[in-house]
Structure 1
Amino acid sequence: MEGLVDLGRYDMDPSRRSVIGAGLFSVALTVPNWPDVVGRMEAAHTGQVQRVGMPEVHVVTAMTERISELDDQFGGRHARPMAAAFLVNTVAPYLRADAPPPVRKAMLSAASDLCYLTGWMAVDEGTHGVAQQYYLKALELAGAAEDHLTFCTTLRGMSVQAVDLGHGRQAMRLADAASAASPQAGPRMRAFLAGQQAHAAAQTGEHGRALKHLREAEVAMEKAESQAKALGSYDPAALQYHSGQVRYEMGDTRGAIEALQQADRLRDGVFRRTRVHKRALLAERQLSIGHLEAACATWDQALDDYPLVQSGRADDHMRTMLTLLRPHLRNRTARALHERACTVVPVTQTA
């Protein structure tokens, strides 16, 4: 197991560990049976763990869920240091400890899921090299655990990173690999994978293939929504976002705007970081076809949430907004938005 326990050490600033540790224990207080969770975390941190069981696996799973919730609400810059600290101080000792084979497998799977989440947050923060290291560690752990779900999810996350950076062909290979690695996927997972395949295919100019995958995602989502609600963030709003991205890549900006507007109407209110990102993207699309007033209204909504979000992608969108507004400052609405933004966006972003 020694090759699997070097988790996140390159991502930790020793001067911040005490602050991050305090934050982690604050998160632990929100987990059911928190005294037991805190006790197990302290035992791992002090090196007292010799053998682990399913209670330790549940600690990792519960903490991953809570950190994910913080990421959704406040962005990766707040939550990722906590995840990195938890990986180093608690999860790595758990992986080094003795355990029965079923517990070992479950712990590897739980650690893989946390590594994937940490990589996802690193992408949001804009530290793409760090994200790739976490993603590769997630794949390694998921493979050792025979966890096909997290393995496929991580490949898909790597595809999302690639397509957002404009590496369409690499994104397509990763999306196809994710799909091939999950032949028994249920309908929601099938939609999750096919939607990303559609986006990547559209970026590479394979429009027929993009539409085929988008239709697969739509059919799978209809089946998923007709069944009991499943855990996971891929939902009709996420599918509409993919539809919007496919249409934009194919030159249908108006169709893309309609899909993004529908996604915004469907989006769960708890996903604040996602709301800022998607609304800013919608405003950029609106302005690109000359709808200045509509774009300003959408950006104004994004600004409502932005001060509460610590996200590199959100910062990038704010810089883009300020740049795009400058030629329109004679317009009263654009000028008012620009003035409001200058009171909300940090000086380092407005420069």
Structure 2
Amino acid sequence: MSQADLGVLLFVHRDLVRKIETAERVPSADFLTRCDQVLEAHGALARLVPVVERERVLRAVRADQTSEVAFRSSATDRPVLDWLLADSAGQQSAVDNDITAEAARELEDLRDRDHAEGAGATYPDVEGALRGRLTTLATTAPQIATGMLELAGYEAVDLGVDGLAQQHYLRALDLMTRTGNHVYGGYLIAVSLAHLALHCGDEQQALRLATAGLRGTGDRATPAVRAAFRTVQARAYARRRDESACATALLRAEADLARSNRADEPYWIGYFGEADFADEKAHCFFDLGLYGLTRRETRTALTLLSTDRVRRIGIDTALQASALARGGELDEACSVARRAIDHMGGLASFRAGHRIVLMLAELQPYAHLPQVRDVIEYADATLGPLLNPG
């Protein structure tokens, strides 16, 4: 079918079809839905609507850097400079041990629920906690307040609301800059904000932020914190297809992690161990096209991850299935894909749906095979609301 033929069936000009095929234009939801019907794609195109809408927003923001409602790379420049120039002694806060202990328990509970249920189920409670207690916590327990804001940012990413995530992270950074917790501030820059930049397709900004955090904290950063910073650098290098720089950053991160003593690390980096490091390496290797190494690291991560980290397990399982599909191992890819779908079934998470859509896209070229067709149908039946939130 020519571009003109498809244009006739869709009632659009062939030039629009050409621009969409060459990625000059982002297709509308209506265009995708009608293409799905005309080409008898059985949902393969329609399920891409949330991913395509996200790309539309990202492109619009890149074109209009004055937007206040979406992620903007430039919005981090002044806060990072303020952090670099700040007095590390900061302002002293009056710590209330009772309030701190209660808030810490609440934060831990919200984090556990987020891992197991997804942000769609827990963000309203996080937002409610911030609305009712942020001012008090910022004075009496600034690190807990920062943890709440950091979790809110992480959950906003999970909801696909990147501009809101950036706002939460920047509020947390401002609080750490004012109270003098320089290392935690560096973490917000080099990990939270840098990961957000990666998520939004700006690997250059991610690399700048990770490097700023690493250099700005210097010897004050503990080994696990430095390892986390270097891992984000590796992710950015992998996106740029710089295999040598990625490998160097990963080796340095691995050496830092080997020197880490958990008892000497700040509590907020306690999650970052061998499981999360394996997860980050798997994403690096996938971006570099090293699918055998991707499978190895996802297996390691899935072996080490705590069973209550449902979303992370689902995402890593889907990444493993994608790597298997890229390597042509379709039977195993389908088996692993089914496990990923099962893990995602109870989640309310944009990121979970996004990762499943990407996994299914890897299988789509083989949709004529019965085992692949069965997986696609299973995903539609099991994850209908997650894949088609509208």
User: Is 1:286 equivalent to 2:324 in the alignment?
Assistant: yes
Contact 2:228 2:253 in 1 (8 A): yes
Which amino acid in the other structure matches residue 77 of structure 1? Answer: G
Gapped regions of structure 1 (runs ≥ 5)? 1-9, 11-50, 96-103
**Match for residue 16 of structure 2?**
none
Amino acid of the structure 1 residue aligned with 2:254: E
Q: For residues 330 and 287 of structure 2, what CA distance do their matches in structure 1 show?
A: 21
Does residue 1:181 correspond to 2:219, yes or no? Answer: no
Corresponding residue to 1:143 among 166, 177, 192: 177
Equivalent-residue separation in structure 2 for 1:229 and 1:145 (angstroms): 21
- How far does residue 329 in structure 1 lie from its aligned partner after superposition? 3.5
- Cα distance in structure 2, aligned partners of 1:147 and 1:117: 18
- Count of residues in Structure 1 that have an aligned counterpart in Structure 2: 292
Q: Contact conserved, 2:314 with 2:344, CA < 8 A, in 1?
A: yes
Q: Is the 8 A contact 1:115 1:135 kept in 2?
A: yes
Q: CA deviation at 1:197?
A: 1.4
8 Å CA contact 2:353, 2:386 repeated in 1: no
Which position in structure 1 is the counterpart of 2:34? Answer: none
CA RMSD in angstroms comes to 2.4
Q: Deviations over 1:136-183 (max 9, x none)?
A: 101011111212243122111111111232211000011112212322
- Helix, strand or coil at the partner of 1:181: helix
Preserved CA contact (<8 Å) 2:350 2:386: no
Summarize the Cα distance change of 1:326–1:202 in structure 2 as closer, same or farther, 3 Å threshold. closer
Q: Show the 5 A alignment for 1:209-228.
A: 209-224=245-260
Question: What's 2:293 paired with?
Answer: 255
Secondary structure in 2 aligned to 1:200? Answer: helix
For structure 1, which segment, 133-142 or 187-196, has the greater mean C-alpha deviation from structure 2 after superposition? Answer: 187-196
TM-score, normalised to structure 2's length? 0.69
Partner residue in 2 for 1:123: 157
Alignment partner of 2:204 out of 166, 169, 173: 169
Residue 114 of structure 2, aligned match among 63, 67, 71: 71
- Name the CA shift for 1:333/1:61 in 2 (closer, same or farther; >3 Å): same
Q: Supply the distance in 1 between the matched residues of 2:382 and 2:262 (Cα, whole angstroms).
A: 43
**Aligned-partner SS, 2:141:** helix
Name which of structure 1's ranges 207-216 and 249-258 shifts more when overlaid on structure 2: 249-258
User: Could you tell me how far apart the structure 2 residues matched to 1:159 and 1:206 are?
Assistant: 18
Contact 2:227–2:256 (8 Å) recurs in 1: yes
Partner Cα separation in structure 2 for residue 322 and residue 223 of structure 1 = 40
Paired AA for residue 234 in structure 2: A
Residue 333 to residue 62, structure 1, CA distance change in 2 (3 Å): same
Out of 72, 97, 100, the residue aligned to residue 54 of structure 1 is: 97
Determine if the alignment matches structure 1 residue 302 to structure 2 residue 340.
yes
Aligned with 2:146 (options 112, 116, 121): 112
Q: Is the 8 A contact 1:318 1:345 kept in 2?
A: no
1:346, distance to aligned residue in structure 2 (A):
1.9
Equivalent-residue separation in structure 2 for 1:304 and 1:114 (angstroms): 30
Q: Is the 8 A contact 1:244 1:260 kept in 2?
A: yes
1:320 maps to a residue whose letter is L
- TM-score, with length taken from structure 1: 0.76
SS at 2:345's partner residue? helix
| Structure 2: runs of 5+ lacking an equivalent | 1-68, 70-93
Contact 2:275 2:305 in 1 (8 A): yes
Aligned AA (1:71)? D
- Contact kept in structure 1, 2:319 and 2:359, CA below 8 Å: no
Q: In 2, are the aligned partners of 1:175 and 1:200 still within 8 Å (CA)?
A: no
Supply the AA of the counterpart residue of 1:133. Q
SS of alignment partner, residue 124 of structure 2:
helix
Alignment check: 8 A CA contact 1:187 1:220 kept: yes
CA–CA distance in 1 between the matches of 2:365 and 2:100? 55
Going from structure 1 to structure 2, the CA distance change for 1:209 and 1:317 (only over 3 Å counts) comes to closer
Name the aligned partner's letter for residue 252 of structure 2. Answer: E
Are the equivalent residues in 1 in contact too, given 2:207–2:236 (CA < 8 A)?
Answer: yes
**Contact 1:124/1:313, CA 8 A, preserved across alignment:** yes
Q: What is the letter of the counterpart of residue 220 of structure 1?
A: D
For residue 91 of structure 1, the aligned residue among 134, 141, 146 is 134
- For residues 199-249 of structure 1, what are the alpha-carbon distances to aligned partners after superposition, in whole Å with 9 as ceiling and x for unaligned? 11222344333222111111122222x765965211112111222233333
**1:267-289 CA distance string (max 9 Å, x none):** 22111011111111221122122
Q: Distance in 2 between matches of 1:111 and 1:171?
A: 25
Distance 1:121-1:340 versus aligned 2 partners, 3 A rule: same
1:287 is paired with a residue whose SS is helix
2: CA distance, partners of 1:65 / 1:284: 32
CA distance in 1, matches of 2:359, 2:255: 35
1:35 aligns with: none
Q: 2:225 is matched by which residue type in structure 1?
A: M
- Asked whether the 8 Å contact 2:227–2:253 carries over to 1, the reply is yes
C-alpha separation in 2, matches of 1:81 and 1:92: 18
- Report the counterpart of residue 26 of structure 1 in structure 2: none
